Amino acid sequence: MATGDTAGEAHVEVRDLTMAYGSFVLMRDLNFTVRRGDVFIIMGGSGCGKSTLLRHMIGLKEPARGEVLYGGESFTAAPPGRREQMVRNFGVMYQSGALWTSMTLAENVALPLEQYTDLSKREVRDIVAYKLALVGLSGFEDFYPADISGGMNKRAGLARAMALDPEILFFDEPSAGLDPLSAKRLDDLILHLAESLGSTVVVVTHELASIFAIGTNSVFLDVESRTMAASGDPGQLRDRSPREDVRLFLNRGVADGKSFPNGAPAATNGGDRGDRDRPAGPPDR
Ligand SMILES: Nc1ncnc2c1ncn2[C@@H]1O[C@H](COP(=O)(O)OP(=O)(O)OP(=O)(O)O)[C@@H](O)[C@H]1O
Ligand SMILES: [Mg+2]
């Protein structure tokens, strides 16, 4: 089902994956390949299983059937020690953003470094400062998540996901809850950082604007048939998918300049004005 294998080598392969909660089969027979350097979009309607698929890819949930491979090596079948090594190459930003609210931004970003490395306090502090600078949050080290805007929280989550210089970054709805301008800035930042770090990126989103702005490859999960309906370049799927439902999903909303599949707003447009109050010099403008 994967389209042309011309770009980078296979980074992640999802093979014959069936996902279930107990006896309830959510999706079956998922087969797709994420290539190195891809910005790979997992898309589909609300509740179809996008977050669950991401959880399978990072090992938070086990397949009912099938497997996930990294660089040709089975992650699903790997023994626990090896699996832990493989997980260290992952950077993850969950759907909620989920910083620890009782910790400062610096403490949040330092956490994976303290957990997984033997770096000295000073080295950790330097890396934390560097990662926060990359996402435009220099000077906010000692702020708590509650003291900054939603957009800034997302960027701090991004800094934390990148703390260990992961080979692959996973994002679950990174721009959900942001106003369109902050969402666009976050997309740009993700792209900029992924390019400069040479990371592969896997993004769950139903934001059409994001899908076409950043996606190089994708899989479309169909809630009706409980399996994938398409995979490949999202722009090509929008224009040329043989599946009408896929074309419809990808065309709806962009025609009138908005991004809300299934007739419902995909994200709140109120509240977060994101980036108004941060210091100068970020890379994401
Ligand atoms: N822990 C769980 N136990 C049982 N069912 C679950 C569990 N987590 C999710 N589900 C069900 O699995 C389905 C898919 O959930 P999932 O969160 O993966 O969808 P999603 O595509 O990410 O949705 P959204 O677009 O709302 O984020 C939903 O019907 C949900 O109710
Ligand atoms: Mg989800």
CA of 175 to the centre of ligand 2 (A): 12
Atom 31 in ligand 1: residue holding the nearest Cα: 47
CA-CA distances (angstroms) from residue 8 to 4, 38, 186, 198?
Answer: 11, 8, 25, 11
Query: Tokens representing 35?
Result: 């290539």
Ligand 1 atom closest to 206 (CA): 25
Counting ligands in written order, which one lies closest to the CA of residue 47? 1
CA of 150 to the centre of ligand 1 (A): 24
Atom 23 in ligand 1: residue holding the nearest Cα: 47
More confident residue, 151 or 129: 129
Average pLDDT over residues 233-246: 91
Atom 8 in ligand 1: residue holding the nearest Cα: 52
Contact between residue 135 and residue 58 where contact means Cβ atoms under 8 Å apart: no
Atom 1 in ligand 1: residue holding the nearest Cα: 21
DSSP 68-122: EEETTEESTTS-HHHHHHHHTTEEEE-TT----TTS-HHHHHHHHHHHH----HH
Average pLDDT over residues 39-47: 92
Ligand 1 atom closest to 48 (CA): 21
pLDDT of residue 46: 87
pLDDT of residue 213: 84
Q: What is the pLDDT of residues 13-35, one digit of tens each?
A: 999 999 999 999 999 999 999 99
State how far the Cα of 230 lies from the Cα of 237, in Å rounded to an integer.
8
Task: Report the percent of the chain where pLDDT is more than 70.
Answer: 85
pLDDT of residue 214: 86
Q: What is the pLDDT of residues 73-115, one digit of tens each?
A: 999 999 999 999 999 999 998 876 678 999 999 999 999 999 8
CA of 283 to the centre of ligand 2 (A): 28
pLDDT of residue 274: 35
Ligand 1 pocket list (CB less than 6 A): 21, 26, 46-52
Ligand 1 probe mutation, 18, 21, 207, most atoms within 8 A of CB: 21
